[in-house]
Amino acid sequence: MTAPSTISVERPAPGIRKIIFSNPPVNLVVGETVSRLLEVVTELSEDPQVHVAVFTSSTPGYFFNHFDLDRVADFMPSDQEATPAWTDLVIRLSTAPFISIASIRGRTRGGGDELALACDLRYASREHAVFGQPEVGGGILPGGGGTERLPRLIGRDRALEVILSSNDYDADTAERYGWVTRTVADAELDGVVDGVATRLASFDKTALATAKAQVNRATLPPDADLRAAYTQFLSSLTFPGVQAFLPRFAKLLAEKGPEEVELRLGDYLGMARQESR
């Protein structure tokens, strides 16, 4: 029997689509997530009726989380000459002829944060959104645009702090840094996102898409840089540091359980790193 998809799509209004991620308990991104998202973004890009796509989650406490490194083979491109699916996804999303909105409630880290960064607008729950790029703490590198997009939003020094420290950042800090469009009270998040989506869906699609393309020319990283980042991510999986780190981190997961570790991922990365020396 085929496993249910981690991605579902709803149509709350004619010009709006809602893309919902669900991979409990901690919403790790797996290969099926990437392939299905790529299909959805491609389909929506070809639909002239779609003005706005809202990305959200149905798993309490989590938006899109980081890649599941226990299934890293899922993210290896079968054709070494082709653009990797994850890179293709974030490029297509950034340049799609619709407006993408991330409605962030819960933890969004690593690949999940890179998906949010590829969205046009990011609204975050003040009480519950948490952000991070934890790769370096695990001995690997970001590979889906974190090192290319984040500095353009928050500046070089803050991006270095985020990426090198592998710490978690709360929503208020993310807003102050410019990581998100706006932080709102959790009780207001759905209403704010729905209001923005409805307003934009009422506008002329050609005007929306053309204005987005104009802003993109001034702000997006070159596609070649995103492809190079994914290649470096794959190479980093063989770094000596990750080989020493992974067994200790696996032991922590077994001892504490994934839900406890994910709640304080930045802290546990530090613990595992210290004990792997």
Residue 202 or 243, more confident: 202
Question: Is residue 272 in some structural domain?
Answer: no
Question: Is residue 45 in some structural domain?
Answer: yes
Evaluate if residue 243 carries a pLDDT over 90: no
For the chain, what is the domain count? 1
Question: Is residue 265 in some structural domain?
Answer: no
Question: Is residue 79 in some structural domain?
Answer: yes
Q: Which domain holds residue 167?
A: 7-205+216-236
Evaluate if residue 7 carries a pLDDT over 60: yes
Evaluate if residue 80 carries a pLDDT over 70: no
Quote the pTM value: 0.94
- Summarised one tens digit per residue, pLDDT across range 179-198 is 999 999 999 999 999 999 99
Q: Which whole number is the average pLDDT over 244-266?
A: 88
> Predicted confidence band at 71 (pLDDT cuts at 50, 70, 90)?
confident
90: domain CATH number? 3.90.226.10
- Summarised one tens digit per residue, pLDDT across range 211-236 is 999 999 999 999 999 999 999 999 99
Q: What angle do CA 194, 5, 139 make, to 5 degrees?
A: 90
The one-letter amino acid at 30? V
